[in-house]
Amino acid sequence: MISFRKSMHDHQEMDKLFKLSVDCYLSAIDGMERHLPDLHSGFVDEHRENLKALREALSASPGAEALTTGKRKLNEEMRDFSEKSAIYYEGHEQSLREVMVALAEAAATVTAEDVKNRVQFGGLAKQLESVSRMEDLTGARTHLHEQVKALKAFAAGMSLAARTSATHMRDKLADVEMRLKAAERMAATDPLTGILNRREAERALDAWIDSGRPFCLVVADLNQFKSINDRYGHVGGDEVLKEFGRRLAAHVRPADLSFRWGGDEFVVILDCNLRDALLRARQIAEGAVGWYRVPLRGGEQSIEVGASFGVAERLPGETAPQLFARADDNMYQQKAVAAHAP
């Protein structure tokens, strides 16, 4: 009897340990999903979605077979992410190298002209020095006249070269500035939806906090988005995300900012207090959700899209992650209500 009780106790302890291990494993996957670096490229969102799907599958069926399969899939995801990240950084390194080469070429042009002018001017100086040692004044005057003409021609040529060099330098710098602006736009924009990305959202939140002005954060998450992906594929899911981002941006005021946080999660920074923010969030939700006409390979498809919105006003002394966590919790409360709605 004692042996049976001990066996039952050991079994219960092992069951607790297994559940705790699964919880730790799921938390680790959730952490990777949330903290994948924002590289402004579609493959990051794809990996984030895959990690989310893996986490949800393991949570629904945490058996030994599911854990073994999950381990293999997780290893494949991280290896694929590592390879794509390396390619991404290599491309950005090449862009930066091209900008630096353009600057070097502009500087080299100015340096070459400067060396050429110094050599030519040095030759004229030596000729003038030889004239000063001539005893025949008539010959000296003739040579001096010739050297003055040469000096004038040199000055005119140097002025033209300087203008040409300055124009060349100006064109090069304009090209560099254009490339840098394009790189900045790319770095600030979500490649799928075309609205601002998570990095810009984090910068904007820090700027608002530093300003000390009151503001509110809205977190929006699409309802049943996995079902849309499962039914219409990633192409259909991407089209839904594009349209949601477009509608979201179209229904915020000029003083407000909309961003794609990652996956099917979006945020909006509202320049108002909580009471007005709750009203604005309802208006934005009404404009952003509904029936979408999504282009697919077989033709347009009507898809009903819903979303849950969480709103939080920044409290004194609150950090950006703390504010986001409160808005995110409010969003999930709304999502739970929507899931149980008839």
Q: Work out the percent of the chain whose per-residue pLDDT is above 90.
A: 37
Averaged pLDDT of the chain: 77
Contact 140, 134 (CB under 8 A): yes
Cβ–Cβ under 8 Å, residues 281 and 330: no
Residues 106-150 have pLDDT tens digits of 555 545 555 565 566 566 556 655 655 555 555 555 665 666 666
pLDDT given for residue 48 in this prediction: 72
Query: Which of 36-50, 170-184, 320-334 has the highest mean predicted lDDT (pLDDT)?
Result: 320-334
pLDDT at 214: 94
Segment 170-177 long-range contacts (CB within 8 Å, at least 24 positions apart): 172/102, 172/103, 172/105, 172/106, 172/109, 173/103, 173/106, 175/102, 176/99, 176/102, 176/103, 176/106
The DSSP annotation for 160-227 comes to HHHHHHHHHHHHHHHHHHHHHHHHHHHHHB-TTT-SB-HHHHHHHHHHHHHHT---EEEEEEETTHHH
Considering Cα of 111, then 114, then 120, then 122, what sign does the dihedral take? negative
pTM of the full predicted structure?
Answer: 0.58
State the CB neighbour count (10 A cutoff) for residue 290. 12
Amino acid 292: pLDDT: 95
| CATH architecture, domain defined by 198-339 | 2-Layer Sandwich (3.30)
pLDDT digits (tens, 9 = 90+) for 283-316: 999 999 999 999 988 788 999 999 999 999 999 9
| pLDDT score of 47 | 65
Per-residue pLDDT tens digits for 61-113: 777 777 777 677 777 777 766 666 656 656 555 655 565 555 555 555 545 55
- How distant is the alpha carbon of residue 245 from its chain centre? 15
> From residue 334, how far is each of 220, 248, 274, 283, 309 by CA, in Å?
10, 18, 17, 16, 7
